[in-house]
């Protein structure tokens, strides 16, 4: 076969092969494009599904978990007693234009301040009873060896800081009542029946209590605004707040009662 004819036939074969490939490409092209689009839609659907499921899981988690602010130093077994509420403080100072006097509103469910009375003492006792419960050995371990068992009960004891600060506020109340209401005698803020305390104890205890209250207020740092209200005829403005975000008292009081049932209690100072 002449060389030129062989070249032509070879070229013809190549053209036929190229033509076949072109046909296959034409046949497969739309099919491949369809597959590519399908894969894109599938991946998009999978991503959207994952996103929706993640949102649903987060919403479910948020709905189940009550918003809490558990501080690192809160006692471990008290976490379940920590609940929050919005509360408007009582006892605001207001000006009465008719009498031209500033007065404290007595709008609390229970009163804790005023002229000394058995009712006031009972109200404070209800707040503070059982304030020195037993401390479990594993809770006391971090404070040893300086912390030792109390000889009277042969147990470790503790006082939650909130109760310590309330104890100090009550001590200030008892001491201030003597001058505010011109009363002599009565309860001493730091005395314990049957126990002789060293000289200077009353002064040291009172200074400790006032500074304890200061530190507690600064530690918790409530930044709820207190707008200043002004009345014509009254020379100063008085601050009064709206709702505060507070820990609920009763669950914590119930927790203390439960802890108090674990062993003997110490007498309060």
136-165, pLDDT tens digit by residue? 999 999 999 999 999 999 999 999 999 999
pLDDT, position 184 = 75
Question: Tens digits of per-residue pLDDT, 231-255?
Answer: 998 999 999 988 999 999 999 999 9
pLDDT-above-90 percentage for the chain: 63
On average, the pLDDT of the chain sits at: 84
The backbone region for 196, taken as left when phi is positive above 0, alpha when psi lies in -120 to 50, beta otherwise, is beta
- Whether the pLDDT of residue 9 is over 50: the answer is no
Mean pLDDT lowest among 27-36, 177-186, 203-212, 256-265: 27-36
Q: Which two tokens stand for residue 210?
A: 């006032």
**Which pLDDT belongs to residue 53?**
78
The DSSP-derived string for 127-195 is: HHTT-SPEEPHHHHGGGTTT---BTTTTBEE---HHHHHHHHHHHHHHHHHHHHTT--SS--TT--TT-
The whole-number pLDDT of residue 124 equals 97
**Nearest in space to 104 (alpha carbons), one of 238, 242, 229:** 238
Q: Given pLDDT bands bounded at 50, 70 and 90, which one contains residue 44?
A: confident
d(CA 90, CA 87): 9
At 66-117, the pLDDT tens digits run: 456 889 999 999 999 999 999 999 999 999 999 999 999 999 999 999 999 9
Is 60 exceeded by the pLDDT of residue 229?
Answer: yes
Whether residue 11 has pLDDT greater than 90? no
Q: Over 60: is that where the pLDDT of 61 sits?
A: no
pLDDT at 268 over 90: no
Distance CA 265, CA 257 (A): 11
Taken in order 185, 191, 192, 197, the sign of the CA dihedral is negative
Q: Please report the pLDDT score of residue 148 as a whole number.
A: 97
């Amino acid at each position: 076969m002449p060389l030129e004819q062989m070249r032509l036939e070879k070229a013809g074969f190549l053209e036929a092969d190229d033509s076949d490939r072109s046909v296959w490409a034409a046949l497969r092209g739309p099919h491949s494009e369809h597959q590519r689009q399908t894969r894109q839609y599938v991946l998009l659907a999978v991503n959207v599904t994952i996103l929706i499921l993640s949102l649903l899981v987060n919403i479910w988690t948020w709905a189940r978990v009550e918003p809490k602010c558990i501080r690192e130093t809160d006692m471990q077994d008290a976490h379940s007693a920590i609940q929050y509420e919005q509360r408007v403080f009582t006892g605001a100072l207001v000006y009465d234009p008719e009498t031209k006097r500033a007065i404290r509103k007595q709008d609390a469910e229970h009163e804790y301040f005023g002229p000394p009375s058995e009712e006031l003492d009972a109200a404070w006792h209800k707040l503070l009873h059982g304030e020195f419960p037993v401390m479990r050995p594993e809770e006391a371990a971090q404070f040893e060896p300086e912390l030792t068992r109390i000889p009277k009960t042969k147990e470790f004891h503790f006082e939650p800081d909130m109760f310590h600060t309330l104890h100090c506020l009550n001590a200030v109340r008892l001491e201030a009542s003597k001058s505010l209401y011109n009363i002599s005698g009565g309860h001493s803020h730091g005395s314990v029946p049957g126990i002789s305390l060293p000289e200077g104890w009353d002064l040291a205890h009172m200074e400790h209590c006032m500074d304890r209250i200061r530190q507690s207020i600064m530690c918790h740092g409530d930044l709820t605004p207190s707008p200043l209200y002004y009345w014509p005829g009254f020379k100063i403005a008085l601050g009064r707040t709206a709702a505060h975000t507070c820990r609920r008292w009763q669950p914590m009081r119930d927790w203390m009662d439960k802890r108090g049932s674990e062993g003997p209690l110490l007498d309060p100072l």
